[in-house]
Structure 1
Amino acid sequence: MRTSDVIVIGGGFAGLTAAITAAGRGKQVTLMTSGAGTLAIGGGTIDLLGYLEDSTLVDSPRDGLSRLAADHPYSKVGGQAVADAVQFFLSLCQEEGFAYTGSLDSNHWLATAVGTLKPSCLVPLTMDMTPVKTASHVVVAGFTRLKDYFPELIIKGLSKIPGYQKNYEQVVIDPGFVGGRDVTTLDIARWLDTPTGQQACFEQLGKHIRPGSVVIIPPVLGSRPNYDIRNKLEQALACKFVETVIMPTAITGLRLRAMLLNRAKKLGVNIMEQAHAAWAVQDGNRVTAVVTSNIDRERSYTTQAVILATGGFFGGGISADPDNVQEAVLHLPVVAPPDREEWGTLKLFSGAAQPFAKIGLKVDASLRPVDAQGRVLLENVYIAGRNLAGYDYCLEKSGNGVALVTGYTAGLNC
């Protein structure tokens, strides 16, 4: 099929959200993706807004929205669009059997693998820390040969946080893997997908669990987007499980991506994998086709609208050379300080925003690209996700939140 109502370029969280939204409105959608992006290895949480640019902590993302700059993506689309996107996502997850919890009114605080707490807005049920707050006995579980995961570090860190001074017990579970390489969370999740793995985990944990205990565990409770493994173990052991936030690769992101792909396929989205969008055919200020370039030849796909969700510098959506900074597919102008010395600050861990993080494409309220004077460059192109200008996702803890909100809004507007 070479003709679509909408072509979405980019298969990350923003692109999948945009494709699902547009297809849900009856549009014929083609999703072009050259890879899984960071969604598949990320934490699977939706960080909407954890900190302001001056490092002020945000307890309520809803309240924090009004304190953002006018060029922030949330400010561009408006508070109602943010609220609508959050409700859309929560409803989607519920319908797909992989419910998330959270709201715009308050952030969750999630346990990390180094014993700290991280703010996030919408989280899988397995990461909700509420059971830990009320428990008297907490088991912190690790796995033999699991790389960079140390239960004793989690216990040491959490024990210093008010409200988390608990009776902690450390347990190491042995999945019985053989071979020389490090064990990953995906290895363990697939092990727990099996009845043999579930039984072995039950037997080893059962020696330490009391009724009402809480088990803090790495994100390994199954590889699929559901809570079947958690439910089976909780019922068998009469306890609660809480998964931690870890460095990539995290199974929580893999589950989220699988759920979104399932929904997209149900809606009839045409997913083109390893489709490298190279350039576009234009008629005036409209894009009429997207051209892909692969190892054999170029192919042209006609469309009525395009959603560009190709990521920033790390995702390849924006590129920089000594003389120029540009968007990679449509060659749209990128907002960046002309002096490269102004792209960053020397104090990387000072809590201050980094100018290079805000580099991206300027858009109007509909997320269409504009020039420096605010004139719309392409009437039927919409920008979503990390290639947008005006926000520091790392400092703000807003990466997946901006992807969700702008992907949803672009899917509506197209």
Structure 2
Amino acid sequence: MAASTAAILASTPFSSHSSKSSSFYLPPILGKKFYGGIGVPLKKGRSQFHVSISNVATDISPAQEQVRKLAASKENQRPVYPFAAIVGQDEMKLCLLLNVIDPKIGGVMIMGDRGTGKSTTVRSLTDLLPEIQVVAGDPFNSDPVDAEVQGPEVREKLMKGESLSIVLTKINMVDLPLGATEDRVCGTIDIEKALTEGIKAFEPGLLAKANRGILYVDEVNLLDDHLVDVLLDSAASGWNTVEREGISISHPARFILIGSGNPEEGELRPQLLDRFGMHAQVGTVKDAELRVKIVEERARFDRNPKEFRESYKADQEKLQEQISSARSFLPSVTIDHELRVKISKVCAELNVDGLRGDIVTNRAAKALASLKGRDKVTPEDIATVIPNCLRHRLRKDPLESIDSGLLVIEKFYEVFT
């Protein structure tokens, strides 16, 4: 196509390239609620003590807290490749930034060739994540105001009129390993407390840790089916319900789901693919000069990560400011009724199942307008994001050779012009 990957974000502040593009961009190809204090006597002959269901296991001693803080500081010092230093792959970078600006877009599915920087780009996003207010010591990163993302203990405290200790923390990114067990993902019984104190306490899992944050699954198309079912359930409802050994607990699990993978290694289940708000395709860079630049930058990072990160500090801080500004400006962005009708017409004529495509396209276009500092969505904004929002929702035709992203943009021009 005429437009190169470098022109994708030409009008956005974080692109280092300039472009004299035409008017539109052509993209490349609770069960029962669980509260504390309930005594549950065991039957005779099974145990010498009574088991009481306690609150979620969140009590942390000062020593444990100090160890946790030390571990967190060490983790923050690990060298992460700067987001601003990533060359090319602007489609993937744009999708990630839009989801940070508006988490309700629903995440990103990144598919592409091996060695194209998918995992590196996603993990580099951690430096740019803004801070949010959370209840101190809560394992679910509960919001002190929004009841939809509050854990059971926080809601109980608010019902009793107790005051909450609030702290600022960065949005969390949690890696979901392919070999993780269901108990590790969903949460399970705290065996140590059961043996030492004779109480049943819930030990939160990765879904609890990812609440109000990002859940990243590398090689998501290789994920076991039982974990895919867990993700589907949580992504659909925003809650995780755990039934273990007489305990029934539900906690919020609202997260930005990011997945990456190589299509040659297997297809993704359609139900899970539909849960990703956007789909980014990543290809191997063909330009020799650009490939040399990528190799040189990576070698410079490997030689001295600290010095390399320092050289991009100003660019990283500028990006952080742009994201923070866009997040605060987003509620004031509007989209005309006429444009919303045309978006839905594109979805209808492409036979997109459900209304998720309409919703995501509207949200992504508003997030892009906010990133550009505008309070109104333009057709150019829609043209930029609509292939990423719809290409993975089209019904697959085995006889169709044209890329689904091109089908979307062709229908866009047909409807909008």
Higher helix share: 2
More relative contact order, 1 or 2 (CA 8 Å, 6+ apart): 1
TM more than 0.5: no
Rg larger for: 2
- TM-score, normalised relative to structure 1: 0.24
- TM-score, normalised relative to structure 2: 0.24
